[in-house]
Structure 1
Amino acid sequence: MSLDVERIRALYPALSDGYAWLDAAAGTQVPQPVIDAIAAAYTSGIGNTHGAFPASARSDAIVTRAREAVADLVGGDPGGVVLGPNMTTLTYRFAYALAKDWGPGDEIVVSRLDHDANVRPWVQAAERAGALIRWARVETPSGELPAEQYEELVTERTRLVAVTAASNILGTIPDVRRITDRARAVGALAYVDGVHATPHMPIDMAAFGADLYATSAYKWSGPHIGAVVGRPELLERLRPDKLASSSDEVPDRFETGTAPFADLAGVAAAVDHLAGLDTGATGSRRERLLTSMAAVEAHEQAELAHLLKGLSSLPHVSVVGSPARRTATAYFTVAGHTPRQVAEHLAAGRVNVWDGHCYAWELTRALGIRDEGSAVRAGLVHYNHRPDVDRLLNVLEDLRH
């Protein structure tokens, strides 16, 4: 179980520019097989679905393969894979559909650890329905989300619990299963935001206890496509707003408008790419994914340890948060410099990072840093290697007073 990182890097054309690409928490680069799959779809010719001609049949097959691939990636059912432009749009869509059954006296539980895309759609839907929002707190300065608080937060009136599988800025991995078990005990649904977690570890949405699991392909080397995966029988109970003339089948009823079929071909190619990261992986695509993503996690954690050790050795750098278990994500500040100034300095040194709240709106406020520009985020994925980390540390050294 290991990665040949240099072999993997060679598959990514963008990485040849000499930069250290440490911006992956906002979106990864795309490997050549994904680019080729998208180009091949356009070259072969595609049409809208369910037509009588071959190009339409090719689009039908592309959609089917994309659903099967996402299901393999997260351990779901292809019949429950809803595809869309991004996780935010899909979460709003599900919030509208679910909230049709909410009313005064109902409660929705959200957390201050989450990306705002797993907070605001639920808050706004609850407000429209007259339901109450209950907030799970984050421990500061560690950035942990205590699971025990859900014993009181989740009540017989709770209809839905929304929680992240990993913080997109601190990398915090909460005890999702304990939280969703509490939701299930009272008959509430669990909506798990797996956008940040999916690129970093093997995923089994059933092990998370997720009724609905959200992910985004552009975070795991695919095109800009989002997906929400649920049980088909659960989706059958939901009635999203849709055109009268469009399909009422599941999962089609959640997908408005014409899909970007070529990009969906890239989704399946991206999952195949992930399954092949560990060249020793064998078995079904699902089995190869589990093996490869375990190798990814081990590789990233080794590089993260080196990064955190290096950051802690720089007296002018302060790492934000200290969760016990985290993805390969570091969030930090530099004394005497705003986060944007640090990001600009790193860009001049050919290091790509992000600065700001990164849509962790509630978390950066809880940490007391949102009004000061928040912090700088460096995110590692499977194609990052030790020279990327060392480049970041060396360029940060230049900012020491």
Structure 2
Amino acid sequence: MAYDVEKIRAQYPALADGRAWLDGAAGTQVPQSVIDAVSDAYRVGVSNVGGPYESSRRASGIVAEARSAVADLVGAPDPSCVVFGPSMTALTYRFAAVLAAGWRPGDEVVVTRLDHDANVRPWVQLARKAGASVRTAEVDPTGELPAERVTELIGDRTKLVAVTAASNLLGTIPDVRTITDRARQVGAVSYVDGVQHCPHVPVRIAELGADFYATSAYKWAGPHLAAVVASDPWSLETLHPDKLAPSPDTVPDRFELGTNPFASMAGVVAAVEHLAGLDSDADGTRADRLAVSRRAARDHEDRLARTLFDGLAALDGVVRHGAPQGPCTPTAFFTVPGTEPAAVAEFLAARGLNVSHGHSYAWELVHALGVGSTGGVRASLSHYTGESDVRRLLDALGDLSTG
């Protein structure tokens, strides 16, 4: 088989502990190649950029390679579209501050209840400071977000539309392109949270129609680093964030505060290369290899997701919340009536299963689903998940719900 999950798993040292790592939505593990790339950067030595010596030139090269790698991963037109930062939350606050600079009373911002709070709260807070109105799109009980729920809120005074490309809690994949097309018709900016989308779906920013697309490397086998990618360099050229007087005023550098984490950026390059090699038959440019490998990974995850979703539906003592009928990532959110989510997670942990519990920062969504801030349990599959991991989870939940 071109996609050999056992061969892929063997590249991840952490997976050798025998546990089922079903918490990819909270953060994936990293392959040995990423570990080596980070450690090699430190071992060989890097200095800050701008110096007339090899270690400084090496740092500049790492930054350039990291921008190029992320551009290939998400189909950006140019590496200069890629802005790095410590987290999606930090970067979104950074972009919110500059995008909101011209908002006035009477202007409108559109957000959704499907989103992680990092793509809700920054916009809400900046809108309130500007006196702008916030319009919130509701989700269906199934956990789906019909595009018209968002587009009907977009009007002539809309300045920004924030929408997730995939729910971090339910896996729901809304029709982003219809939403961004409507935003563009009225001259509004679209800011798309791709943190849970990018690990599972081959990405082309142009196909999404997003003005800005956010992704986090630690959700796709990389280090703890994030990027916001613009649809074109011009989108960044028109924005002027606050910065230190002597720091670069070039794009994309002027959006990045302080010194970049060069070793982590080397890990980003290695992570993208790893994703490009998941299918042993993939060849050609890195973008070509990514296209083949990521389709193969998506097929693998889809097969496992069907096993997971069908298995949960067959368990009488387990309630899955928000079961989208349309496209979704391999993520399930559920509760076991009579047992607190934390206790369920502890029970599963004792059985060698890593799952998340709580609200997962999907603050609006957990309340819309009626589970409150205690939330539920989230099991999320990754490209390195094996079928036995899913079977172990279903067996353990069967024991818990009938015990």
Report SS of the residue matched to 2:195. Answer: coil
Match of 2:54 in 1: 54
Structure 1 position 2, deviation (Å): 4.4
What is the DSSP-based 3-state SS (H/G/I as helix, E as strand, rest coil) of the residue aligned with 2:159? strand
1:149 to partner: Cα distance: 2.5
Deviation of 1:148 (Å):
1.2
Partner of 2:344: 342
* Whole-angstrom distance in 2 between the partners of 1:44 and 1:158: 50
Please say if residues 112 and 150 of structure 2, whose CA atoms lie closer than 8 Å, have aligned partners that are also in contact.
no
Q: Percent identity?
A: 61
Provide, for residues 86-110 of structure 1, a one-character-per-residue CA deviation record: whole Å limited to 9, x for no partner: 1000000000011111111111110
Deviation at 1:283, TM superposition (A): 1.6
1:355 to 354, 357, 369: 357
Say if 2:288 is the partner of 1:287: yes
| Equivalent residue, structure 2, for 1:226 | 226
Structure 2 residue 193 is matched with structure 1 residue 193: yes
Q: Does 1:89 align with 2:60?
A: no
Q: 1:20–1:350: 8 Å Cα contact kept in structure 2?
A: yes
Report the equivalent of 2:297.
296
Letter in 1 for 2:245: A
State the 1:355 CA deviation: 0.4
Structure 1 residues 256 and 178: alpha-carbon distance in aligned structure 2, compared to 1, 3 A threshold: same
Name the counterpart of 1:136: 137
Which residue matches 1:100?
Answer: 101
Quote the Cα distance in structure 2 between the aligned partners of 1:151 and 1:344. Answer: 41
- Partners of 2:392 and 2:149 in 1: how far apart? 41
Task: Please give the residue correspondences for 1:101-180 in structure 2 after superposition, counting only pairs within 5 Å.
Answer: 101-140=102-141, 142-180=142-180
Q: TM-score, normalised by structure 2?
A: 0.98
Q: Deviations over 1:243-279 (max 9, x none)?
A: 0110000000000011110000000000000000011
Task: Tell me the alpha carbon deviations over residues 144-190 of structure 1, each in whole angstroms, 9 at most, x when there is no partner.
Answer: 11111333200011111010000001000000000001001111111
Shift of 1:307: 0.8
SS of equivalent to 2:11: coil
Matched, 1:326 2:364: no
Gaps of 5+ in 1: none
Equivalent pairs, count = 399
Match for 2:359: what amino acid? Answer: H
Deviations 1:201-242 (A, max 9, x none): 101111000000000000000000000000211101111110
Equivalent residue, structure 1, for 2:69: 69
CA contact (8 A) 2:109 2:161 kept: yes
Aligned to 2:313: 312
Q: Residue 229 of structure 1 aligns to a residue in which SS? A: strand
Provide the residue aligned with 1:392 in structure 2: 393
Matches of 1:351 and 1:150, distance apart in 2: 37
Code of the residue aligned with 1:275 in structure 2: it is A
Structure 1 residue 17: deviation in Å?
A: 0.3
Q: Paired residue for 1:209?
A: 209
Amino acid at match of 2:314: S
1:81–1:154 distance in 2 versus 1, CA, 3 Å: same
Q: Give the Å deviation of 1:343.
A: 0.1
Structure 1 residue 127, shift from structure 2 partner? 1.0
Partner amino acid, structure 2, of 1:49: V
Instruction: Give 1:53 deviation, angstroms.
Output: 1.1
For 2:135 and 2:319, locate their aligned partners in 1 and report how far apart those are by CA, in whole Å: 32
* Counterpart for residue 376 of structure 2: 375
- Within 2, Cα distance between the matches of 1:151 and 1:130? 22
CA–CA separation in structure 2 for the residues paired with 1:376 and 1:151: 31
1:113-152 residue CA offsets vs partner (Å, 9 max, x unmatched): 0000000011111111111111111111x00111113332
C-alpha distance in 2, partners of 1:128/1:277? Answer: 46
1:243 aligned to 2:248? no
How far apart, CA to CA, are the structure 1 residues paired with 2:316 and 2:375? 19
Rounded to whole Å, the distance in 2 between the matches of 1:366 and 1:321 is 10
Which TM-score applies when normalising by structure 1? 0.98
Contact preservation (8 Å) 1:165, 1:193: yes
Contact 1:150 1:182 in 2 (8 A): no
The worse-fitting range, judged by mean Cα deviation, of 192-201 and 146-155 is 146-155
Counterpart position of 2:366: 364
Question: What is the root-mean-square deviation of aligned Cα atoms in Å?
Answer: 0.9
Give CA-to-partner distance per residue, 1:363-390, whole Å, 9 cap, x none.
Answer: 000001024x211000001000011001
- Deviation of the 1:57 alpha carbon: 0.4
Equivalent position amino acid for 1:221 in 2: A
Cα distance in 1 between the residues matched to 2:153 and 2:19? 45
Q: Which amino acid aligns with 2:135?
A: R
SS where residue 102 of structure 2 aligns? coil
Question: What CA distance in whole angstroms lies between the structure 1 residues aligned with 2:262 and 2:253?
Answer: 14
Distance 1:161 1:50 in 2: 38
2:38 partner amino acid = I
Answering whether residue 267 of structure 2 is matched by residue 266 of structure 1, we say yes
- Structure 2: state its 5+ residue gaps: none
